[in-house]
């Protein structure tokens, strides 16, 4: 007869093994977050190092080696870093700040850097945050006269002279709205826009300082003495000190001394809405532009912009010549002239008429031309009109 087998050692061993596996798994789990953090830190350190390199080469001349600011605002500032997320820094750096020294850096805006490069630069800037000093002047307080210049360069096209509104957009200089909403509502509305209703998103185009300038202008409208009549013959009292010639943007010639609001009807504007594009912060090359013109524009606007191409179904009957170009687009300030042309090239336009055969394509919105090509062709069109 066989003696009873003793399973106890096996059972004990199995139990111990199970326990051991269980414990080592717990230990592994406990270490996992640390391991992930270590990997992330490693990755982030690599990004910061790469970003530091790019920053030193490209940004330090204006913003200072440690972001302390010199010719350009300080970036190493607690307030700036605490209130500005990575996405916002990324887009400001990508698109630059039009009409300032701050260039567009992203290749998608004609600059030298890739998305990855800019993410690395942002990681480097972000790495300052834990020790960033309080620099209260970073985002300087708004300046209403700078705000008026921005308004006249960027918003007037839709919101009209002195914010009185046009057929494209409502009046902003409207006492009941101005008193109904506060600065933070206006900030959000300007930054986010209402793209589905034709109000562009400005948060990625304007710097925080420029938005502050606009808020100062809006505040000036809000606090204008309520009974003050708007004397028709006095040009725009609220925005008297206009520091840049941009202020003269086409509206200047069209708004008559009688202050008529019908002015917007006289101005050649594309039928599609949207503001100036990234090409405006680039320098155009006339020779390269003549090439783009010959390839893309000549079939509709004629050799050297002379026009004469029929457009059945449009009221004009022909596609407009660009040489000479419609004189409501011309401006003595080349920046304004370029802006007026750019609106058509960016967003396209449908001529009035029952069923125009040819329409102006949206070269920018549809990415048919790069910002640099648009800058080049604008330079070419301006050169054609230089007599
Ligand atoms: C030629 C000078 C110049 C260079 C080079 C330059 N910047 Fe700027 N930058 C400016 C100026 C001027 C402004 C302020 C624009 C304004 O008035 O809103 C600015 C604004 C900014 C802002 C917004 C800051 C704020 O408080 O609104 C950021 C972020 C920025 N620059 C990052 C960079 C980075 C990153 C680089 C390098 C890739 C760079 N800049 C290179 C001149 C420069
Ligand atoms: C392409 C035309 C266009 C441009 C350019 C434009 N806007 Fe607008 N904006 C609109 C339209 C359209 C609306 C009304 C949207 C709606 O119906 O909700 C609007 C609404 C607004 C409102 C909300 C007004 C209210 O009382 O509800 C503010 C504030 C505003 N815009 C500010 C600006 C500023 C500042 C600029 C320049 C940086 C600007 N807009 C440039 C088209 C434009
Ligand atoms: C398929 C034909 C076509 C092509 C190609 C074309 N355009 Fe146009 N363009 C038009 C039409 C049509 C208009 C008139 C739009 C309107 O009246 O709203 C126009 C208007 C313009 C205007 C405004 C002029 C004015 O008097 O209203 C400019 C500037 C312009 N085009 C530039 C260009 C440039 C630069 C190119 C090449 C990148 C180009 N166009 C290619 C058809 C074309």
Q: Which ligand is nearest to the CA of 176?
A: 2
SS (HEC) of the chain: CCCCCCCHHHHHHHHHHHHHHHHHHHHHHHHHHHHHHHHHHHHHHHHHHHHHHHHHHHCHHHHCCCCCCCCCCCCCCHHHHHHCCHHHHHHHHHHCCCCCCCCCCEHHHCCCECHHHHHHHHHHHHCCHHHCCCCCCCCCCCCHHHHHHHHHHHHHHHHCHHHCCCCCCCCCCCHHHHHHCCHHHHHHHHHHCEHHHCECCCCCCCCHHHHHHHHHHHHHHHCCCCCCCCCCCCCCHHHCCCCCHHHHCCHHHHCCCCCCHHHHHHCCCCCCCCCCCHHHHCCCCHHHHHHHHHHHHHHHHCHHHCCCCECCCCCCCECCCCCCCCCCCCCCCHHHHHHHHHHHHHHCECCCCCCCCCCECCCCCCCCCCHHHHHHHHHHHHHHCCC
- Over residues 185-199, the pLDDT tens digits come to 999 999 988 888 888
The two tokens of residue 90 are 């990324």
Which ligand neighbours the alpha carbon of 205 most closely?
2
CA of 172 to the centre of ligand 3 (A): 31
Q: Which fold has domain 9-130?
A: Cytochrome Bc1 Complex; Chain D, domain 2 (1.10.760)
300-358 pLDDT per residue, tens:
999 999 998 999 998 889 999 999 998 888 887 788 889 889 999 999 998 888 889 99
Q: How confident is the model at residue 371 (pLDDT cuts 50, 70, 90)?
A: very high
pLDDT tens digit string along 27-42? 666 677 677 777 777 7
- Which position has the higher pLDDT, 373 or 235? 373
| Range of lowest pLDDT (61-70, 122-131, 290-299) | 61-70
For residues 111-135, give the mean pLDDT: 93
Q: Which residue out of 62, 68, 85 has the highest number of ligand 1 atoms within 8 Å of its CB and is therefore the one to mutate? A: 62
- Cα–Cα dist 177/155, whole Å: 17
Residues with C-beta less than 6 Å from any ligand 2 atom: 154-155, 157-159, 168-170, 172, 177, 186, 189-190, 194, 197-200, 202, 214, 273-275
Confidence of residue 387 (pLDDT cuts 50, 70, 90): low
Domain 278-384 CATH (choose: 1.10.760.10, 1.20.1640.10, 3.40.50.2300, 1.20.58.340)? 1.10.760.10
Residue 123, pLDDT above cutoff 90? yes
Q: Is the CB of 62 under 6 A from ligand 1?
A: yes
What pTM, to 2 d.p., does this model score? 0.40
Residue of 107 and 242 predicted with greater confidence: 107
Q: Which residues have C-beta within 8 Å of that of residue 65, sequence separation ≥ 6?
A: 56
Q: Which atom of ligand 2 is nearest to the CA of 190?
A: 32
Minimum-distance ligand 1 atom for the alpha carbon of 121? 35
Nearest to 175 by CA among 163, 188, 167: 163
Mark residue 102 as left, alpha or beta (left: phi above 0; alpha: psi -120 to 50; beta: remaining).
beta
pLDDT above 70 for 14: yes
Token pair listed for 68: 């302390």
**What is the per-residue pLDDT across 144-183, written as a single tens digit (0 to 9) for each?**
999 999 999 889 989 999 999 998 899 999 999 999 999 9
- Identify the pLDDT of residue 2: 62
Q: List pLDDT tens digits, range 200-224.
A: 888 878 888 899 999 999 999 998 8
**Closest ligand (CA of 80):** 1
Segments of the chain assigned to CATH 1.10.760.10: 9-130, 144-225+237-266, 278-384
Is the CB of residue 356 less than 8 Å from the CB of residue 311? yes
**Ligand 3 in reach of 143 Cβ (< 6 A):** no
- Are the CB atoms for 103 and 96 separated by under 8 Å? yes
**Ligand with the closest atom to the CA of 317:** 3
> In CATH, which superfamily holds the domain spanning 144-225+237-266?
Cytochrome c-like domain (1.10.760.10)
Q: What tens digit of pLDDT does each residue of 231-281 get? A: 433 333 333 333 333 323 333 332 222 222 223 334 577 887 778 888 988
CA distances from 188 to 26, 82, 85, 192 (A): 48, 18, 15, 6
Q: Is residue 186 within 6 Å of ligand 3 at its C-beta?
A: no
The mean predicted confidence, pLDDT, of the chain is: 82
Give the model's pLDDT for residue 3.
Answer: 64
């Amino acid at each position: 007869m066989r003696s009873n087998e003793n399973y106890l050692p096996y059972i004990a061993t199995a139990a111990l093994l199970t326990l051991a596996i269980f414990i080592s798994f717990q230990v592994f789990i406990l270490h996992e977050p640390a391991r992930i953090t270590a990997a992330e830190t490693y990755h982030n350190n690599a990004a910061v190092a790469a970003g530091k390199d790019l920053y030193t080469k490209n940004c330090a001349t204006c913003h200072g080696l440690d972001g302390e600011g010199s010719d350009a605002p300080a970036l190493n500032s607690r307030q700036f870093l605490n209130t500005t997320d990575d996405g916002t820094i990324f887009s400001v750096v990508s698109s630059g700040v039009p009409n300032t020294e701050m260039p567009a850096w992203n290749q998608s805006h004609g600059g030298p850097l890739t998305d990855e490069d800019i993410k690395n630069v942002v990681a480097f800037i972000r790495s300052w945050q834990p020790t960033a000093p309080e620099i209260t002047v970073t985002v300087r307080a708004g300046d209403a006269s700078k705000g008026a210049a921005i308004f006249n360069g960027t918003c007037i096209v839709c919101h009209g002279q002195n914010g009185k509104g046009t057929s494209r957009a409502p009046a902003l200089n409207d006492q009941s709205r101005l008193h109904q909403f506060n600065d933070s509502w206006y900030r959000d509305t300007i930054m986010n826009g209402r793209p589905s209703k034709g109000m562009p998103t400005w948060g990625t185009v304007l710097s925080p300082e420029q938005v502050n300038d606009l808020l100062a202008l809006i505040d000036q409208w809000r606090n204008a003495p309520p009974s003050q009549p708007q004397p028709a013959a006095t040009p725009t009292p609220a925005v008297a000190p206009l520091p840049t010639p941009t202020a003269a943007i086409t509206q200047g010639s069209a708004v008559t001394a009688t202050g008529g609001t019908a002015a917007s009807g006289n101005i050649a504007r594309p039928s599609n809405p949207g503001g100036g594009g990234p090409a405006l912060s680039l320098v155009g090359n006339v020779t390269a532009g003549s090439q783009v013109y010959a390839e893309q524009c000549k079939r509709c606007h004629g050799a050297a912009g002379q026009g004469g191409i029929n457009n059945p179904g449009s009221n004009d009957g022909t596609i407009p010549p660009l040489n000479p170009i419609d004189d409501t687009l011309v401006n003595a300030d080349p920046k304004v002239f370029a802006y007026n042309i750019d609106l058509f090239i960016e967003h396209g336009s449908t001529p009035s008429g029952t069923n125009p055969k040819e329409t102006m394509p949206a070269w920018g919105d549809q990415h048919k031309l790069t910002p640099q090509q648009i800058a080049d062709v604008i330079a070419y069109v301006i050169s054609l009109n230089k007599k």
